[in-house]
Chain A
Amino acid sequence: MRKVYSKIESIAGNVITVTAEDVRYGHLAMVTSSHGKSLAEVIRLNGSQVSLQVFAGGRGVSTGDEVVFLGSPMQVSFSDNLLGRIFDGSGNPRDKGPGLEENLIEIRGPSVNPAMRIIPRNMIRTGIPMIDVFNTLVESQKLPIFSVSGEPYNELLARVAMQAEVDMIILGGMGLKYDDYLSFREVLEEGGAMSRTIFFVHTASDPVVECLLVPDVALAVAERFALNGKKVLVLLTDMTNFSDSLKEIAITMEQVPSNRGYPGDLYSQLASRYEKAVDFEGAGSITILGVTTMPGDDVTHPVPDNTGYITEGQYYLRNGRIEPFGSLSRLKQLVNSDTREDHRAIMDGMVTLYANYKESLEKKSMGFRMSDWDQKLLRYGEMFESSMMDLSVNIPLEQALDRGWEILAECFEPAETGLRTELINRFWPKGRTAAANEESA
């Protein structure tokens, strides 16, 4: 019989304090109040004073409510039954399915021994040319999408979830607008991808503590699936909300803030989640694609800044498109040499020309005279944006490379592209030069 404590001594924000014996750090308790039951986690021990973080929040908790310690840290059920299901941050079902309690695993497990890691080697195809061609996603990579509120980053994630060549998807939603949650569900249900997906969703109106649990729960489950040989893609949106929850709780706990109110351990907190991305030799892998919204489109804000130091590159999503400048997949060099011989050349060549287009555009806006070359670039830039960068384009890598050649052939003479002659001989669309195009037009 577990001992029931019925005297809560202080309640501040989401943190309550009770006097209790034989309690262990990080273990859970059940708080029963007139509004229902909630889990709580031990976050500080000071003699017999135990501070607990109540997952459902401190609102409505009374000093006379009951607290029972459960004697174990936070756990989540793990089995194939999770597939197709939707849970909240504490692991309770959010759909109408039954609660799962078998085969519990601990969250926030130890990190992977660096000596057991391997150099990443497999590409993950997404069908999005701006990713596949220009900044390839690599198995076991961790990449954020840097964006601002209002951009279609959740739509992008949903598309990746639908199209990515992986065994399963785990979606961790933090501070998600209810509408966004519903549209995620809708897209995946309609696309028939629900059966290989697990949702852990915290919506904007849910208690803030549960927001912190979402990545841990999602990644703990992902880790087990990966150890069982599954290629798992974890989508986390939005890590800025996660960081803001950290901030909120740190301030309630009266911690000294370091930068714009965020706790000093923000880097370590983010890193311990992102570093869960791994390729287990002889088993599966975890790849993490996150969303980080940049408040005020400021990349030096503590959240994107710390994220950038942790992740292996980033995608910038601006004006509904993945920007080729600034976006970087640091691991792409490891995989894009074995796709098709023209992959790297197209990747570099097209971006260089696009940079030239941007310069011409600037010159044009400043009222300088446009040369023939500028005109060509302007035409190229528009085509590149509409048939490559547009998020609705969904074609496999090879087709995207072919399309790249077509765009080049449409706009330029072979020598103007700066591509190697040998590649041009092989891949340049036959009988196509810009001059010939004009004639036929």
Chain B
Amino acid sequence: MSQSRGTVIGVNGNMVSVEVEGEVALNEVGYIDTESGEERRRLKSEVIRVRGSRAEVQVFEMTTGIGVGDHVEFTGELLAVELGPGLLAKVYDGLQNPLPELAAQCGFFLDRGVYIEALDRETKWRFTPKASIGDRVERADTLGVVPEGIFEHRIMVPFNRYGTYTVKEIASEGEYVVTDRIAVLEDSSGEQIPVTMMFEWPVKRPIECYAERLKPADPMVTKVRIIDTFFPVALGGTYCIPGPFGAGKTVLQQITSRNADVDIVIVAACGERAGEVVETLREFPELIDPRTGRTLMERTVIICNTSSMPVAAREASVYTAVTIAEYYRQMGLNVLLLADSTSRWAQAMREMSGRLEEIPGEEAFPAYLESVIAAFYERAGVVNLRDGGRGSVTIGGTVSPAGGNFEEPVTQATLKVVGAFHGLSRERSDARRYPSIHPLESWSKYAGSIDRGMVEYAREVLHHGNEVGQMMKVVGEEGTSLDDYVWYLKSEFTDSVYLQQNAFDPVDAAVSVERQKYTFEILFDLLTTRLNFGQKEEARAWFAQLRQRFLDLNGTEWQSDAFKELVADIKKAVDSMRAGVEDNAVSIVGEMR
């Protein structure tokens, strides 16, 4: 692509109209050369519409000071990110500027028009060649590896090199910086192409250098009971967490980013509070990941475009995040992308659509909202790589529906394309029942680690208990039969000892699948057992006592002496009240045996 030039002819908010001389591509990056006070600045922008020789660009910065007649230089490149070793543990803004480095240069504030290279050019990486001279290679084939923290980072043939190449030169084992030439490839016409350890990839194009895409089957363990047991997420799957403000979306995302059983976590803080990113940013370097013994930061990349940062870059940030996720998937790793919040990204699209004077759809969101959201979530997936390895990208996005109403366009468009729905409820968060995932409204299409039939049975108990609870509000306790009352108690019991989880308790905060299976079986036994109560008062007291013991159990170290003692205690208590099996559980309990 040639590099065209242009002149500003109009400004409207963060959209600038440019008269272009020469060719221009959609999503091409241009720099607007403008003055700001005494200084001249080059503001990054992206072409979002072309009509004749007039192009509309969205500017990733504040547009104050841009005037008609300012010069624009187009780069001929699409909006892209740098891929190579050194991405992990970094904190980037939506355009992949490293924020700590930016702070070192500019101080407290994000100055306009300052862009810093995403990958450090000085760090030396220990390169070990894997390909040899004469090898035939394609894009994404491994040329060598460098160690990056706990991972073996593959140096691959750049993904934008289509066709087959012959390796002409390959660097010997040694220390190199990312810009050093580590190989020379020759294409079919005999042209020699030098390759470094880094390359660029346009963020809005999915990386598809794999052999085949598979159906997500293995569960991704989050160590949150209600998710893993009731609404599981699969590796390579997608899920969404809609919820009103204050329901705990961000806390749930933070917990997941800590405990999820994956190799790499990419946190995309998109248009949310800066304070929440700060918590992650300050705490992760201190927290030790029990699986690796290293800090959590070493497996994390943070992309952060908080609510007061320029809106156009907010839209770019989710794509930057997913592109980095796909890159690591090519190394056979399981990557989890947490996007908080996709509603802010959709709002950024809405703002731009309004400036472009497009015909608005529902709630003024653009008509292409659904297809854009679908395309984003479709970038998740588990794939077989060409070398036989397997990698996955799992995407979990929060949604912030206006007024907490799930009927709005962003929630609905998201629900159409995700595999699991964890709906948070204000009612539950007000009652301090955390995590506030609604047990009756949420769903998941993925298979979990615990027997589906048993889980379904527990959900029925919750359902029935909820009905009884609703009825009791009208007719009072006196008007409820003992049988119904016990169902109500069972469902409340399940809620408080299993669905609720104390994120601040060192033991209860993260529960392994093994432990979940074990405690769920105890719970299941209680739910299916017909209990022998004389009257309601007795039943309530019994459940209150059992609940206390079960909560103690939740806070006790797995398989410790105290744990075993409590389990024996609980089992004894249930046995003492046992009077057979509940009618509706006969078949399932029979199956189990």
Contact = CB atoms under 8 A, between A and B. Distances in A.
Interface of A: 21-27, 44-48, 73, 108-120, 227, 255-259, 263-265, 267-268, 271-272, 275-276, 280, 300-302, 305-306, 308-310, 312-313, 325-326, 328, 330-331
Contact of A256 (B35, B110, B347, B364): B364
A301 B402 CA distance: 9
Q: Which of A45, A276, A331 has the most CB of B within 10 A?
A: A45
Contacts of A227: 108
Contact of B273 (A24, A264, A275, A326): A275
A199 to B, nearest CB: 25
A265 B306 CA distance: 15
A73 B351 contact: no
Contacts, number: 166
Interface residues of B, number: 62
Given A73-B64, A113-B109, A301-B403, 7 more contacts: A25-B64, A113-B110, A116-B108, A258-B363, A268-B271, A272-B307, A300-B405
Across the A-B interface, the 6 shortest Cβ-Cβ residue pairs? A300-B403, A26-B64, A271-B307, A275-B308, A308-B245, A258-B364
B279 interface: yes
Contacts of A120: 275
Nearest to A140: B275
B51 interface: no
B68 interface: yes
Secondary structure call for the B interface? mixed
B402 A302 contact: yes
Contact of A111 (B34, B69, B309): B309
A257 B365 CA distance: 10
B245 A305 contact: yes
B455 interface: no
Given A113-B108, A119-B282, A45 B402 contact: no
Contact of A310 (B10, B273, B403): B273
A267 B103 contact: no
B15 to A, nearest CB: 10
B304 interface: yes
Contact of B363 (A109, A259, A272, A331): A259
A208 B63 CA distance: 23
B590 interface: no
Contacts of A255: 354
Contacts of B147: none
A313 B275 CA distance: 12
Contact of A114 (B112, B306, B400): B306
A117 B304 CA distance: 13
11 contacts: A23-B68, A48-B68, A116-B103, A117-B275, A120-B275, A259-B402, A265-B311, A275-B274, A275-B308, A306-B402, A310-B273
A269 to B, nearest CB: 10
A25 B108 CA distance: 25
Interface string B9-28: 11110000100000000000
B65 A73 contact: yes
Q: Which of A27, A116, A255, A272 has the most CB of B within 10 A?
A: A116
Nearest to A119: B282
Contacts of A119: 278-279, 282
B344 interface: yes
B149 interface: no
Interface in B46-94: 62-69, 91
B246 A328 contact: yes
Contacts of A258: 350, 354, 363-365
